[in-house]
Amino acid sequence: MLIVWLKLLLTPIFASETVTVQLKWVHQSQFAGFYLAKETGLYAHQDIDILFLEGGQNINPVDALVSGGALTFQSFHRKRS
């Protein structure tokens, strides 16, 4: 989630531009913070039109970013033991 916020803060965004976020997995509760922010107007308040692309088993978020299909992607980093 931190990667998404940093990318949104550091990327110039215009009101008419849609920010596309490639999720790492299918729509589910782990992305509730993103959905809640959209539904409560947090992104719109900052003039950001956001679109979440569903991920899945055969979706590589990095490929979506590199190909231009997404402006940023969501990822979780696991703590190494």
Q: How confident is the model at residue 28 (pLDDT cuts 50, 70, 90)?
A: confident
pLDDT at residue 36, as a whole number: 94
**Structural domain count, the chain:** 1
> Looking at the domain assignment, is residue 9 inside a domain?
no
Evaluate if residue 35 carries a pLDDT over 70: yes
Q: Which domain holds residue 77?
A: 19-81
Residue length of the chain: 81
> Looking at the domain assignment, is residue 7 inside a domain?
no
Residue for token digits 């569903």?
A: 54
CA-angle at 12, arms to 32 and 78, nearest 5°:
40
b (16+ CB within 10 A) / e for 12-40: ebeeeeebbbbbbeeeeeebeebeebbee
Q: What is the pTM of this model?
A: 0.63
